[in-house]
Each structure stands twice: as C-alpha cells, then as structure tokens.
C-alpha cells in the first residue's frame, strides 16, 4: 500500500498561498534563509536522505546534524517543523 502524504503538511504560515501556486511560481518564492522555495525543497529532500543514511550507519552526530538542518529549512519555509525525539 502506498504512503499517503498529508496535504496540509506543506501549508506555509509565512507564504499562505504557496500551495495554490503552480510549481514553477512556487519554486521562486523567497524564504527567510535567503533561498528560493525550490532550492529549500531540494535541500529538505537531501537532508531527509541524510537522516535515513545516518540512521542506517548508526552515526549519531550526523543524525543530529541532519535533523537540525531539516527543522531549520522547515522553519525558513514556514512549514510545520518535524518533531525528532533525538533533539530533545
């Protein structure tokens, strides 16, 4: 069974209409970290991949670094930050 993604997970508090824009317009939105929305989406995808790899290898320092990066990117985009119990 395929994973069902929550469509509300990408609602931005800083860019409330971002989810209604076509992807080429949404990619050009400037975020708080000075990067474009599309660049942040790519960085977010790569950071999640880093988390997956760090967990598999058991690298705690890298895991914390990627989790922190995910939250920073999410905050700059205005989307809900993921809760990681390892960061508490």
Walking along the chain (88 residues) 10 residues at a time, the average pLDDT comes out as 58 88 91 95 96 96 97 95 90
Q: Examine residue 74 and state whether it is found in any structural domain, yes or no.
A: yes
User: What pLDDT sits at residue 87?
Assistant: 87
Q: What is the dihedral of CA 15, 20, 22, 23, to 10 degrees?
A: 50
User: What pLDDT sits at residue 71?
Assistant: 96
Q: Which domain holds residue 45?
A: 37-83
**Entry field: residues in the chain:** 88
Percent of residues in the chain assigned helix, strand, coil, to nearest 5 = 60, 0, 40
User: What pLDDT sits at residue 67?
Assistant: 97
d(CA 32, CA 40): 10
Q: How many structural domains compose the chain?
A: 1
Nearest to 30 by CA among 64, 85, 68, 78: 78
Q: Examine residue 88 and state whether it is found in any structural domain, yes or no.
A: no
């Amino acid at each position: 069974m395929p994973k069902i993604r929550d469509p509300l997970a990408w609602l931005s508090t800083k860019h409330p209409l971002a989810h209604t824009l076509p992807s080429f317009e949404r990619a050009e939105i400037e975020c708080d970290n000075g990067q474009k929305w599309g660049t942040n989406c790519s960085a977010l995808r790569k950071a999640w991949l880093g988390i997956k790899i760090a967990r598999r290898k058991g690298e705690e320092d890298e895991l914390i670094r990627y989790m922190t990066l995910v939250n920073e990117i999410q905050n700059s985009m205005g989307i809900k930050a993921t809760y990681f119990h390892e960061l508490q």
